Copies of this chain bind each other. A is one copy, B any other.
């Protein structure tokens, strides 16, 4: 990205921006990404850095703008609100989670081991951000927020995540009650949300307790899944599945 024989349209700057093209008309409120792509990135990078350095609440929009060398209003041109800067954080976190989970998923076939690896990978990624992430995860808990994992806006991220747990299941040699199987990935995702919820509240140094939670819960889930085919438990399994179907939208 340093040479100057850059062809046709190039000013030689946006190397990544080349990979645009397929601007799917999802129809969100975002400005049609073009010249300002660089500015957008600059603001985003600055914001995330400051969040990490000072915490979310302690980072003012004015500080972000100043540090990025733009006016406050400009930040609002690219991001609807301070919260929407977080959304980008989620996106990155999610992407890295997928990336880190890839290796163990390729290597392992045992269901419990796969699940355990994916859960740990998630916390691995989140880990360094615990201090500031915890303070805004509350926003995600608000039902009306677009950041809620159940919201329409995050449906893409959600299905990505659920897809990850689908792969956990499919790549394994676990035997699962056929009635349970189609819904299990979503349940595992819910369990993952539970882990995150615990992680957010986890005050132990290095959040080691969350690790214990994962290591403790995975065998239980594994056994429960196996037992779901047992005669004594079949009715409970069926009943549970029935309830879940009722409660889902």
Contacts and interface: CB of A to CB of B under 8 A. Distances in A.
Interface string A127-147: 000000011011101111100
A142 B135 contact: yes
A183 to B, nearest CB: 15
A198 interface: yes
Interface stretch (A94-102, A103-111, A173-181, A223-231): A223-231
Nearest to A145: B138
A243 B215 CA distance: 9
Tell me whether chain A's interface is mostly helix, strand or loop, or mixed: helix
Q: Which residue of A138, A213, A223 has the most chain B CB atoms within 10 A of its CB atom? A: A138
A221 to B, nearest CB: 11
A235 B226 CA distance: 14
A177 to B, nearest CB: 16
B227 A239 contact: no
A246 B212 contact: yes
A150 interface: yes
Contacts of A212: 243, 246-247
